[in-house]
Structure formats: C-alpha cells, structure tokens
C-alpha cells in the first residue's frame, strides 16, 4: 500500500494529517497516512509532507535522525509547506541544515512576523485558492536551466509554489484551509510514481 508520512517533529502537523486523510477519502484511493518521527518510519513512506514551523529546528532534527539520508536513498517524494519550502531548497538566507532536494534559493520570513499573517486569493492549478501566509518564505531564485522545474503559483510577482520533479515547495499553509486541492495533487504525483 502507498504510504504518505506526515513528519511529526514540529509545526502544523495534525492539520496536515487531517487534510491529507480528507484528500485520500475525497479521491477514493488506497493510501495510508501516518505520522512519522524517525528515519525507520520515513523509510516506509512513498511520500513525505513537511509542515510549517521553525525550519532551523526541523532541519537539525532531520539531520540528527538521519531522515535526510533516508529521503535521498529511498527517492521519497517530498511536499514542503512554509518551513518545508525552506528545507527543500539548496540555499537560504540563514545558516541551517537543508535537504537540498530542489534547485531553489528560499528567503525566510519574507511576509513579516506572526502578526503580519494574512489570507489572500491566489491561483494554482488553474483554480482560485485561499493562500494562508504566516511568516511565509518566498523563492529568491530557482535554476531556470533545469527542465524539471515548474512554477505553480505566484503572488505579487513572487513565486510562492514550485515543483521540481517529484518535490513540491509552497510558501503558504494549505493545511489551514478546508480545500484539499493541493494535497490531492501531491497524492496523485506520489501514486503516478509507483
């Protein structure tokens, strides 16, 4: 059975779990969704979701527990939101451990502090969607020479969602909405890889 892991280290983890379960139910597919905390748990996953939170803390735990090695060795698809977007990149504006799975440079906390959080309509996959931005990062740059990179959404001329191969990075919080559109897209991508 295909398994999607919700990395349970820090951040909006339960919200990602709930919306992923809802997406699986809406799609009517045979996919297991589980919380994962250690490398052995992650090794059993076909896809992994890394939530928002404190990217420095999550990155250190991923590295300390060997989760980064397992993701790379097992070719696991990763969907990162907010802090997860930072971790997927090869560079950021702070010295911290990164997964480096995508040829992107991410600028942390572009949209300000917690009190500057906001919601705004955005467009993604040709549909209107509510973007929830909380201390959100944006893409500073990406390697335009790579033909497997696709910009999925922009907001105020900033890239807020991007995909490279099997990995997806977005700066906002889809788990804080009721809309399963983006989670369903990731699940389909994982299923298509099987």
CA 161-162-167 angle, to 5 degrees, is: 120
- 179-188 burial, b at 16+ Cβ within 10 Å, e below that, comes to ebebbbbbbe
For residue 29, which phi and psi values (nearest 5 degrees)? -110, 160
- Which residue has 């398994």 as its token pair? 3
Out of 82, 167, 183, 184, the active site residue is 82
184 is catalytic: no
Out of 15, 16, 175, 184, the active site residue is 175
173 is catalytic: yes
Out of 167, 173, 183, 184, the active site residue is 173
45 is catalytic: no
Quote the tokens at residue 46.
């076909």
- Catalytically active residues, by annotation: 82, 173, 175
């Amino acid at each position: 059975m295909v398994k999607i892991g919700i990395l349970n280290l820090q951040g909006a983890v339960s919200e990602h779990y709930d919306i992923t379960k809802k997406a699986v139910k809406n799609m009517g597919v045979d996919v297991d969704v589980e919380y994962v905390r250690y490398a052995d748990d992650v090794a059993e996953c076909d896809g992994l979701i890394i939530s928002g939170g404190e990217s420095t803390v999550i990155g250190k735990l991923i590295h300390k527990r060997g989760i980064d090695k397992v993701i790379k060795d097992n070719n696991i698809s990763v969907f990162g939101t907010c802090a997860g977007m930072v971790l997927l990149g090869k560079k950021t504006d702070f010295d911290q451990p990164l997964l480096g799975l995508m040829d992107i440079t991410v600028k942390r906390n572009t949209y300000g502090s917690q009190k500057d959080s906001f919601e705004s309509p955005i467009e993604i996959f040709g549909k209107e969607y509510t973007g929830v931005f909380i201390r959100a990062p944006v893409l500073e740059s990406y390697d335009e020479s790579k033909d497997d990179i696709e910009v999925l959404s922009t907001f105020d001329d900033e890239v807020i969602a991007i995909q490279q191969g099997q990995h997806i990075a977005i700066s906002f919080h889809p788990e804080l909405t009721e809309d399963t559109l983006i989670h369903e897209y990731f699940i389909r991508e994982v299923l298509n890889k099987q």
